[in-house]
């Protein structure tokens, strides 16, 4: 089997995806299989977030978007929600020095106002402290769901139309994109879901229209740098046609 270094050397450094989005699934199963409680899986998952962020930064990815907490996750048992909120606030505070060292900029996506005060303040602090960073942009999706943000965008545009400031005929794909929480961020080139499920789970539905999808059975706490490089190699083996024919794509190259 190829070592991590050998695998990395197989990557085409000129075709590293600009934006990688991830669905971090499998923490609960990881914990359960070891006789631990689910929250232990989330705690272990924080280590993977650390590793994946460092690896993304080192390899030259510009945007990494992580689905840390969905709108639907509010329906989980209170104890698990509380632990997740604590972990998110604690992790961001603990990681801040290294994020700064690695020039990583924190960006928050979702209905952040719903995040409990303590975690929210730590997140805002980290966002402000890293605002000047020019390396990897780490987008943390918190209290996020795609249908929520599309509904929110529709509401904003409808309000402008009702106030006579926007002609409905002038609504374009761009005006919708501009009103999503991801405004200004290029669409993901690659979406990776860990945990062996083949679902999108209300994540970046608008933005992944032409993303390459990659599913791995590795549970999030087990998702290794090797697994990540496998996903990147798989991505690089694909031909992205954006609705065109293969011949057209080859000609453009
Ligand atoms: C899904 O696994 C994972 C989550 C709902 C939370 C992900 C959160 C973290 C990895 C920790 C904090 C994140 C940051 C950014 C510091 P699951 O619980 O649904 O797993 P299961 O499918 O095995 O039950």
pLDDT tens per residue across span 54-90: 999 999 999 999 999 999 999 999 999 999 999 999 9
pLDDT tens per residue across span 108-142: 999 999 999 999 999 999 999 999 999 999 999 99
pLDDT of residue 215: 98
User: Of ligand 1's atoms, which has the minimum distance to the CA of residue 41?
Assistant: 18
Q: pLDDT band at residue 247, thresholds of 50, 70 and 90? A: confident
pLDDT of residue 126: 98
As a whole number, mean pLDDT of residues 30-35 equals: 98
Residues in the ligand 1 pocket, defined by CB under 6 Å:
24-29, 38, 42, 45-46, 49, 66, 68, 73, 84, 87-88, 91, 140, 195, 220
Average predicted confidence (pLDDT) for the chain: 96
- Work out the percent of the chain whose per-residue pLDDT is above 90: 93
Write the DSSP string, 13-75: GGG--SEEEEE---HHHHHHTTT--HHHHHHHHHHHHHHHHHHHHHHT-SEEEEEEEEGGGGG
What is the rounded distance in angstroms from the CA atom of residue 227 to the CA atom of residue 230? 5
Q: pLDDT band at residue 93, thresholds of 50, 70 and 90? A: very high
What is the rounded distance in angstroms from the CA atom of residue 200 to the CA atom of residue 23? 8
Task: Show the tokens assigned to 140.
Answer: 């943390």
- How many angstroms is it from 180 CA to the middle of ligand 1? 23
pLDDT of residue 249: 79
Catalytic residue positions, numbered = 25, 73
DSSP 132: T
Task: Show the tokens assigned to 114.
Answer: 């719903």
User: Of ligand 1's atoms, which has the minimum distance to the CA of residue 73?
Assistant: 5
pLDDT tens per residue across span 141-187: 999 999 999 999 999 999 999 999 999 999 999 999 999 999 999 99
Substitution site in 37, 45, 48, 126 for ligand 1 pocket (most atoms within 8 Å of beta carbon): 45
51 within 8 A of 182, measured Cβ to Cβ:
no
């Amino acid at each position: 089997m190829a070592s991590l270094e050998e695998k990395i050397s197989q990557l085409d450094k000129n075709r590293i995806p600009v934006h990688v989005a991830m669905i971090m699934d499998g923490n609960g199963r990881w914990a359960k299989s070891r006789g631990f409680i689910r929250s232990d899986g989330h705690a272990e998952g924080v280590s993977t977030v650390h590793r994946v962020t460092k690896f993304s930064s080192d390899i030259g990815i510009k945007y990494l978007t992580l689905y840390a907490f969905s709108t639907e996750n509010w329906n989980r048992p209170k104890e698990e929600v509380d632990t997740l909120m604590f972990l998110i606030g604690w992790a961001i505070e603990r990681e801040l020095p290294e994020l700064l060292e690695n020039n990583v900029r924190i960006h928050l996506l979702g209905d952040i106002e719903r995040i409990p005060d303590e975690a929210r303040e730590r997140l805002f602090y980290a966002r402000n402290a890293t605002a000047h960073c020019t390396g990897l942009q780490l987008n943390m999706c918190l209290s996020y769901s795609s249908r929520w943000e599309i509904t929110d965008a529709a509401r904003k545009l409808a309000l402008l139309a009702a106030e006579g400031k926007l002609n409905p005929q002038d609504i374009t794909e761009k005006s919708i994109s501009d009103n999503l929480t991801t405004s200004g961020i290029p669409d993901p080139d690659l979406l990776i879901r860990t945990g062996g499920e083949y679902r999108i789970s209300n994540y970046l539905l608008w933005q992944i229209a032409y993303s390459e999808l990659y599913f791995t059975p590795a549970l999030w706490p087990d998702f290794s740098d090797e697994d990540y490089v496998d996903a990147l190699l798989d991505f690089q083996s694909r031909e992205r046609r954006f609705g065109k024919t293969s011949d057209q794509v080859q000609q453009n190259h």
